Amino acid sequence: MLKYSLRQLEYFAATAENQSLAKAAKWLNISQPSISKAITNLERQFSVQLFIRHHARGVSLTPAGERLLVDARGLLRYAGELQQNAQASSDDTRGEIELACFVTVAPIFMPALLADFSECFPGIEIRLHEGNQDDLLFGLASGRFELALMYNLMLPADMEIGLLASFDPYVLLPEEHRLVKHKKISLKSLKDESLILLDVPPSRDFFLGLFKAAGLEPRVAFSSPSLEMVRGLVGRNQGYSLLVTHPYYDHTYDGQTIVTRPLADKTAGGELGLVRLAQMRPSWAMTTFSQFCTTWFLQHHAGRGPCQAPPIKDLPSTAGSLDPAP
The count of structural domains within the chain is 3
CB within 8 Å of 317: residues ≥ 6 apart:
none
Same domain, 260 and 277: no
Domain extent, residue 21, equals 6-75
Give the model's pLDDT for residue 90: 43
Structural domain includes residue 108 = yes
pLDDT of residue 313: 34
Q: What is the pLDDT of residues 80-117, one digit of tens each?
A: 766 666 555 444 567 889 999 999 899 989 999 999 99
pLDDT at 6 over 90: no
DSSP for 60-80, please give it.
Answer: EE-HHHHHHHHHHHHHHHHHH
Nearest-angstrom CA–CA distance, 136 and 148: 7
Give backbone dihedrals phi and psi of 323, rounded to 5 degrees, phi first: -85, 135
Q: At 188, which CATH number?
A: 3.40.190.10
Determine contact, residues 252/235, Cβ cutoff 8 Å.
Answer: yes
Please check whether residue 319 lies inside any domain of the structure.
no
Place 128 in a pLDDT band, splitting at 50, 70 and 90: very high
Domain termination residue (choose one: 53, 75, 97): 75
Q: What confidence score (pLDDT) does residue 75 get?
A: 82
Residue 133's pLDDT band, with cuts at 50, 70 and 90, is very high
For residue 116, tell me if it sits in a domain. Answer: yes
Among the candidates 75, 107, 131, a domain finishes at 75
Residue 151: band (very low, low, confident or very high) from pLDDT cuts 50, 70, 90: very high
User: Both 161 and 292 in a single domain?
Assistant: yes
pLDDT in tens, 197-229: 999 988 899 999 999 999 999 999 999 999 999
Residue 144 belongs to some domain of the structure: yes
